[in-house]
Chain A
């Protein structure tokens, strides 16, 4: 009994290793191909479901919404999280440090940060999306509406009726 389940687990393990070692090609909207491990690509729920559905693994995945610069940065995140283990405290701390440095670097270039956020949303990379949206949210926190408009280059388009409602809300809150 014990031997049987052990053998099954070993087989499952071997299978996982095999699938994890497959390589997958992702193509940016500029036609540039990036070859990544399957474990790395599986960070993206979008690609994961396509792979599991037995999709075109060999032909690779064209990503018409992502440019090369953004894709390279997204793959950097996926490689770190997909190919490294996170079982021990040290391993998790290393990943947390990677995330911290990764987002600090992105935060310096807001336009690029938004591109990466959009790509993370499109590819459904949960961890990366949480990381970037939290970073943007932290920027908004504590700012007045005027400061937010300046920071995000948003045009003021509220109507007189909106302003009236806002004034009303403000009186009570």
Chain B
């Protein structure tokens, strides 16, 4: 049988069987590790939710966790903390810290081992990154930025408030600095992709979360679009309420919500970030 037919057969297998097929022979190994196969296989699989055990587990450090996964269909609409449906995603208790994610891939740091690995949770494939050259870059410089549209963004690293957000344009292949939103660095939260608009969450008055969005060109102008304290959308400070960008953004927030688990009636909308 030719490779195409073998690939079509192996695509029908669950991830665990595909994993075993990688150890059958060279041609099967070549087929099942090819990028097109991996992509096609994960498209066919049911969506998986990833979960992790946090500081509750006393054997773990605060920022360490074990990764588990469960098919979305197996997770009840209201999650009651019962993890019987979850499957431990990594077989051994490998101590890992999640350092970032990008396009469905997770970047983990191995605790106490000073090495990193990239993991595709859909296919359970893991790849070790080459060890960093400590002489020229610090270990934690290896981070995955937030991909929004055609740019990848990295949050401010320095504590200096004058520092800027770094962006890499994947089309022109150039780095550029982006002025951060007008919040203190210490309050700056995760970078968000709001349906193609680059946004930054900030917690200036805990426990309330503000969301600042850039003007859509990855540019220097920021608008406060959502705050959880007032629980309402705010108009952008630099544009009128009627401008199309603002309307589109408001819509994007609304369309984000149904992807989160169904909310009980009359509850407040909430934002979910990873």
The answer to whether B23 touches A137, judged by C-beta atoms less than 8 angstroms apart, is no
In the bound complex, CA of A154 to CA of B12 (Å): 20
The answer to whether B22 touches A133, judged by C-beta atoms less than 8 angstroms apart, is no
Known: A133-B5, A140-B10, A172-B90. 20 other contacts (CB 8 A): A117-B9, A121-B5, A121-B8, A129-B8, A133-B12, A137-B12, A140-B17, A141-B13, A144-B20, A145-B20, A145-B23, A145-B24, A155-B25, A157-B25, A157-B26, A158-B23, A159-B26, A168-B128, A173-B91, A173-B124
In the bound complex, CA of A171 to CA of B91 (Å): 8
In the bound complex, CA of A141 to CA of B126 (Å): 22
The answer to whether B12 touches A143, judged by C-beta atoms less than 8 angstroms apart, is no
The residue in chain A whose Cβ has the minimal distance to the Cβ of B19 is A173
In the bound complex, CA of A155 to CA of B25 (Å): 7
In the bound complex, CA of A159 to CA of B2 (Å): 21
The residue in chain B whose Cβ has the minimal distance to the Cβ of A162 is B29
The answer to whether B5 touches A117, judged by C-beta atoms less than 8 angstroms apart, is yes
In the bound complex, CA of A157 to CA of B126 (Å): 23
B252 at the interface (CB under 8 A from A): no
The residue in chain B whose Cβ has the minimal distance to the Cβ of A142 is B17
A136 at the interface (CB under 8 A from B): yes
When distances are taken between beta carbons in the complex, the residues of chain A under 8 Å from B255 are none
Which A residues are within 8 Å of any B CB, using their own CB?
114, 117-118, 121, 129, 133-134, 136-137, 140-145, 148-149, 154-159, 162, 166, 168-169, 171-173
Could you show 20 A-B contacts with beta carbons less than 8 Å apart? A117-B5, A117-B9, A121-B4, A121-B8, A133-B5, A136-B9, A137-B9, A140-B9, A140-B21, A143-B17, A144-B20, A145-B21, A148-B20, A149-B24, A154-B28, A157-B25, A157-B26, A158-B25, A158-B29, A162-B29
**Could you say which of A154, A169, A171, A172 contacts B25, with CB atoms under 8 Å apart?**
A154
Which B residues are within 8 Å of any A CB, using their own CB?
1-2, 4-5, 8-10, 12-14, 17, 19-26, 28-29, 90-92, 94, 117, 119, 124-126, 128
When distances are taken between beta carbons in the complex, the residues of chain B under 8 Å from A168 are 128
The residue in chain B whose Cβ has the minimal distance to the Cβ of A159 is B26
The answer to whether B14 touches A141, judged by C-beta atoms less than 8 angstroms apart, is yes
In the bound complex, CA of A141 to CA of B21 (Å): 10
The residue in chain A whose Cβ has the minimal distance to the Cβ of B4 is A121
Q: Which of B1, B19, B25 has the most CB of A within 10 A?
A: B25
When distances are taken between beta carbons in the complex, the residues of chain A under 8 Å from B124 are 173
The answer to whether B24 touches A154, judged by C-beta atoms less than 8 angstroms apart, is yes
CB distance from A17 to the nearest CB of B (A): 35
The answer to whether A141 touches B8, judged by C-beta atoms less than 8 angstroms apart, is no
